[in-house]
Amino acid sequence: MVKENNTLFVIFGGSGDLAHRKLYPALFQLYLKGSLNEHFAVIGTARRPWSHEFFRAGVLENLSDGTVEQRETFVEHFYYQSHDVKDSAHYVALKRLIDELDAKYQINGNRLFYMAMAPALFGTIADHLRSERLLSTGGYNRLIIEKPFGHDYESALALNNAIVGTFDQDQVFRIDHYLGKEMVQNIPFIRFANPFLDAVWNRDYIDNIQITLAESLGVEERGGYYETAGALRDMVQNHIMQIIAMLAFPRPTKYADQEINQAKSQVFASLPVYTPAEVATKFVRGQYGQDIAGKQVAYRDEDKIEPTSTVETFVAGEVDLNLPQWQGVPFYVRTGKRLPTKKTRIDVVFKADTSQLFAAQQPVNPVLTIQVEPESGIELTLNGKEIGTSSLIEPHQSQYLLNADQQKQVPDAYERLLLEAVLGKQGNFAQWEGMAGSWHFVDAIRSAWAQEPTVDFPNYQSGTMGPKAADELLTKTGRHWIYQG
Ligand code: NAD
């Protein structure tokens, strides 16, 4: 029997894309599964003067699953409040609605504020929530925010300071939706629930770890935002860094939120701050050109993109953690737009046997692959013997992938993370210390690149795995990318 949670959700930016595409369907799943039942309400706020009915109709449009009756009963819990976040008077009206719904649904003061709008407005909202007394004194008050959390360390710090005047750190839930993915949450289980793997999860047995977040789409309609971000800020500072933390954090004393976050903070604290010379040898940036057939436009020809833009749509690099367990083990990371397929995977490359036991034969590096998406599962590549009478070594591969039925049971990242926020579980949310550490790491790379403004872009064709230099990062050390696209 799933326990119902009493919660009032206040969504700032309730008419926006994120709210409609991700948040409302995720809340509906929680409703269908019983985590939300009778004692909840959702207030969507935005500037437009919508009625509750109009708002509900828009929410309904994005719901599939369930019966018509379930969908209609669900959206009856939705209310709309026309609200300009900069206007103090509007918070008075919002407070009135919050109090009314709290009483109507017997929510007992549990409030979850979701800032689904531009981060520049986070501070204004947080200030008003405090000054206009929208926080409850009975239940909990929690805040959920989304990326982009700043564009460098200084702006992230300012954003953080703007929020912590109203919310304590343990009330702030910073969503990184990669932390809501099934196989990313699975990483600690694979590592720590298998003692034989835990025993070799270190510099003595692991040669390198490779993380690939490949996107097949281009910049699409997000050109305006992307020109201010680039792949390093859009994907590396947050998602890739969180995955590194999941792969590298030392064994916690207990599998509980606080212990996990403490263990992860050790990884973030151990991130290097590269010198420009190190950036030049350890990081590669790229920007897509047309595809071979000339059908897809180059980044510089996309909508809202400067024709001379030097914004990177591809990054590959080496992250060296300053932790004893990981001394000398490069974490190779790679992400880009317009790569051949959409794919997130992690390849843990173990050391090869160099004992010469098998004479002239060279065993391959054993590899543990964690498939994150679109497939979810684990693959293991080991050395074995060729079938028959020979003594030749050949790689054996075994694979565990979720089947279609299992995939259907996997909750969407937003569903999972919204539930965890409702339950007050911080283990799968980005913490400020980690964010600060990854911004310092990324800022050093950006600043080195800023000193080398003339780049030979575009330097990779759409539909390929990025610039040649990304392969050379590994081949110059005798390694190669396990995933070739
Ligand atoms: P959007 O432009 O679709 O929606 C923005 C919302 O904010 C709208 O409801 C708009 O009416 C409201 N708004 C803007 N100014 C306002 C004001 N002064 N007062 C009241 N309401 C105001 O944007 P979005 O795509 O939903 O993204 C919201 C935030 O989430 C952005 O910071 C974005 O970067 C981030 N984000 C979005 C996605 C996504 O999938 N859309 C994914 C990750 C992060």
Same structural domain, 225 and 320: yes
Same structural domain, 127 and 187: no
Residues touching ligand 1 (Cβ under 6 Å) are: 13-19, 21-22, 46-47, 83-86, 116-119, 146-148
Q: Is 458 left (phi over 0), alpha (psi -120 to 50) or beta?
A: beta
Same structural domain, 214 and 94: no
Q: Is residue 151 part of a domain?
A: no
Q: What does residue 345 show for φ and ψ, rounded to 5 degrees?
A: -150, 155
pLDDT of residue 359 exceeding 90: no
Q: Is residue 40 part of a domain?
A: yes
Q: Which of 17, 88, 90, 227 to mutate to test the pocket of ligand 1 (most atoms within 8 A of CB)?
A: 17
- Ligand 1 atom having least distance to the Cα of 83: 20
Q: How far is the CA of 435 from the centre of ligand 1 (A)?
A: 21
Cβ contact 167:143 at 8 Å: yes
- Domain count within the chain: 2
Q: Is residue 173 part of a domain?
A: no
Which residue range(s) make up the domain with 65?
Answer: 7-146
Report how far residue 143's alpha carbon sits from residue 145's, in angstroms, rounded to the nearest whole number: 7
pLDDT of residue 398 exceeding 90: yes
Same structural domain, 56 and 131: yes
Same structural domain, 190 and 316: yes
- Ligand 1 atom having least distance to the Cα of 15: 9
Q: How far is the CA of 224 from the centre of ligand 1 (A)?
A: 14
Same structural domain, 320 and 379: yes
Active site residues: 239
Q: Which of 12, 48, 84, 117 to mutate to test the pocket of ligand 1 (most atoms within 8 A of CB)?
A: 117
Cβ contact 285:226 at 8 Å: no
Report how far residue 45's alpha carbon sits from residue 28's, in angstroms, rounded to the nearest whole number: 18
pLDDT of residue 73 exceeding 80: yes
Q: How far is the CA of 219 from the centre of ligand 1 (A)?
A: 18
Q: Is residue 439 part of a domain?
A: no
Please name the residue whose Cα sits nearest to atom 42 of ligand 1.
18
pLDDT of residue 452 exceeding 90: no
| Enclosing H/E stretch for 28 | helix 24-32
Same structural domain, 330 and 188: yes
Q: Is residue 187 part of a domain?
A: yes
Q: How far is the CA of 19 from the centre of ligand 1 (A)?
A: 8
Q: How far is the CA of 119 from the centre of ligand 1 (A)?
A: 9
CATH label of the domain that carries residue 34: 3.40.50.720
Q: Is residue 428 part of a domain?
A: no
Measure Cα distances from 18 to 13, 41, 58, 319 in Å.
8, 18, 13, 31
Same structural domain, 136 and 203: no
* pLDDT of 188: 98
* pLDDT of 371: 98
pLDDT of residue 356 exceeding 90: no
Q: What is the pLDDT of residues 137-172, one digit of tens each?
A: 999 999 999 989 999 999 999 999 999 989 999 999
Same structural domain, 184 and 113: no
**Strand residue runs (E) in 147-197:** 172-174
Same structural domain, 130 and 239: no
Q: What is the pLDDT of residues 314-328, one digit of tens each?
A: 999 999 999 999 999
Q: Is 13 left (phi over 0), alpha (psi -120 to 50) or beta?
A: left
Beta sheet of 172-174, edge-to-edge order: 78-82, 40-46, 7-12, 111-115, 141-145, 172-174
